[in-house]
Amino acid sequence: MFKKFTPSTDIAGQTPPKSSVQRSIRAAVLQQWKIGPETLEEIWPKKETLIHVKCREHISIYSVQSVPLFFQHFDGPFYPTLRLLHQYPSILPKVGIDRGAIRFLLAGAPMMCPGLTSAGGYLPPSEEALPKGTAVAVHAEGKEHAVGIGITELSTEDMRKLNKDVAVEVVTHLGDDLWALQTL
Amino acid sequence: MSSSDQQEPQAVRPLEVLYCQICTFPPEYCEFGSSLTRCKEWLQGAHSQLFDKYYSDEALQSKIGTLSLEAQAKLEKDSAKKEAKAEAKADAALKKKMASQVSIKRIERNKRKHVTAIHGLEAFDIELKKAAKFLAQKFATGASVTKNAQGQDEIVVQGDVSDDVLELIEGGAGPLKGVPADNVVIIEEKKKKAVE
Ligand SMILES: [Zn+2]
């Protein structure tokens, strides 16, 4: 999503949404992430204005005090930025890729099922299965911090069952152009 | 995790994550970047314990994990290639930078009025908007970033301030840092007799 993203040409404008819209964004984030209102208050205090950074191809980045905190594609789920996820690793459910898949992910490739179902990969147990379309933290074999953030293209149960094709579409990863954008 | 009725009113503390000063990744991912040699040098100097954690013989053995030895060897080879490529690219970028020129042009608007157009600062990683603001304050005049006839961005300052701008750039004042004096030229543009 942030391949060849150039702030000077790909950002259309920065505006603060109406306060009613800000409230509904806050509610949506609280509902979508595993996060309490107190923690969200630390990240995005109510007295701080959220800025909507409108980008090309219906990407919206939201920032507080010039720091990008989360983003959205069309009206899809809200994804934290990878730096925010590193600070609060439990806000998204986890999947894991094996070591061999890391360099493909870092090149922007989608993650195929075998990268997650192999011995070095990780999928949540059946009782915590994730449906298709879930925003996930993508961790990597032998690493402490997430390497990227993605959205499931299959339910995690189907990833195991089918074990082929795209499992997770990667929306942001270490070293992409959103990672490079530390302030806006 | 047992679910209890007790609400946790306290905020979760953010994790403090160390990032590599060279490649910006968490150090555990430096091996996938394009500057591993410099990353390792930095980590060894700044956080020697972490360096041992990631690069000791045991760490190097265990991190291979489920990857086959051939795949690991390929990864290392790719990493070295990437690094060489990145260095060559950085060299080329530096050369290009050193060859590019900043021009300060005095433009006559009418008999008495001049503006000063400064072109090419962005090649030296100077933020044009910040620089324009700085110049406006410095000279208590108007300054803006506009597109020239060729569609390139330049800074236009009201008034003839070309010599002062040259001095500021040479002195590396404020946001105007990083332009070698040899790369700056002053050009004077006479207004052609207007056909009215
Ligand atoms: Zn590094």
Q: What is the pLDDT of residue A46?
A: 93
Sign of CA dihedral B151, B137, B142, A183: positive
Q: Which of A142, A145, A180 lies nearest to residue B17, judging by beta carbons?
A: A145
Q: What is the pLDDT of residues B11-33, one digit of tens each?
A: 899 999 999 999 999 999 999 99
- Residue B106 sits in the same domain as residue B163: yes
- Residue A173 sits in the same domain as residue A135: yes
Q: What is the pLDDT of residue A151?
A: 97
Residues 6 or more apart whose CB falls under 8 angstroms from that of A170 comprise A105, A108, A109, A110, A111, A138, A148, A149, A150
> Is A184 inside a domain boundary?
no
Backbone angles phi, psi at B121, to 5 degrees: -65, -30
- Residue A114 sits in the same domain as residue A80: no
| pLDDT confidence bin for A26, thresholds 50/70/90 | very high
> Which residue would you say has higher pLDDT here, B93 or A37?
A37
Indicate the SS3 state at residue A97.
strand
- Residue B47 sits in the same domain as residue B126: no
Contact assignment for B63 to A119 by CB distance below 8 Å? no
- Residue B80 sits in the same domain as residue B20: yes
Check whether A112 has a pLDDT greater than 80: yes
Check whether B116 has a pLDDT greater than 60: yes
Domain count, chain A: 2
> Is A129 inside a domain boundary?
yes
Domain boundary among B98, B113, B147: B98
Is some CB atom of chain A closer than 8 A to the CB atom of B64? yes
Token pair for B160 = 């003839």
Q: What is the pLDDT of residue B19?
A: 97
Residue numbers in A near B16 (CB within 8 A):
87
- Residue B74 sits in the same domain as residue B50: yes
Q: How far is residue A44's CA from residue B157's CA, in Å, rounded to a whole number?
A: 39
Q: What is the pLDDT of residues B152-187, one digit of tens each?
A: 889 999 998 989 999 999 888 888 888 888 889 888
Mean pLDDT of B121-141: 90
Q: What is the CA radius of gyration of chain B?
A: 26
Report the 10 Å Cβ neighbour count for B142: 13
Q: Which of A86, A118, A143 lies nearest to residue B66, judging by beta carbons?
A: A118
| Predicted model pTM | 0.75
Domain hosting residue B88, numbered range: 15-98
Is some CB atom of chain A closer than 8 A to the CB atom of B67? yes
Task: Please state, for a pLDDT cut of 90, what percent of chain A lies above it.
Answer: 95
- Residue A36 sits in the same domain as residue A67: yes
Please, where are the H alpha helices in chain B?
36-46, 48-55, 57-63, 69-99, 128-139, 162-171
At A166, the amino acid letter reads: V
State the average pLDDT for chain B.
86
Check whether A25 has a pLDDT greater than 50: yes
- Residue B94 sits in the same domain as residue B108: no
Q: Which of A41, A89, A141 lies nearest to residue B65, judging by beta carbons?
A: A141
Indicate the SS3 state at residue B52.
helix
Check whether B2 has a pLDDT greater than 70: no
Is some CB atom of chain A closer than 8 A to the CB atom of B12? yes
Q: How far is residue B81's CA from residue B87's CA, in Å, rounded to a whole number?
A: 10
At A81, the amino acid letter reads: T
Between helices B48-55 and B36-46, what is the axis angle to 10°? 130
> Is A183 inside a domain boundary?
no
Ligand 1 centroid to residue A131 C-alpha, Å: 35
Q: What is the pLDDT of residue A133?
A: 96
At A155, the amino acid letter reads: S
- Residue A13 sits in the same domain as residue A80: yes
> Is A108 inside a domain boundary?
yes
Q: What is the pLDDT of residue B193?
A: 52
Mean pLDDT of A70-88: 97
Task: Please state, for a pLDDT cut of 90, what percent of chain B lies above it.
Answer: 35
Residues 6 or more apart whose CB falls under 8 angstroms from that of B149 comprise none
Q: What is the pLDDT of residue B7?
A: 55
Q: How far is residue A8's CA from residue B122's CA, in Å, rounded to a whole number?
A: 12
> Is A83 inside a domain boundary?
yes
CA distances from residue B13 to A89, A159, B9, B20 in whole angstroms, order as listed:
11, 33, 12, 22
- Residue A77 sits in the same domain as residue A103: no
The CATH number of residue A59's host domain is 3.10.400.20
Task: Please state, for a pLDDT cut of 70, what percent of chain A lies above it.
Answer: 100
Q: What is the pLDDT of residues A120-148, one digit of tens each?
A: 999 999 999 999 999 999 999 999 999 99
- What is the CA angle A172-A175-A180, rounded to 5? 90
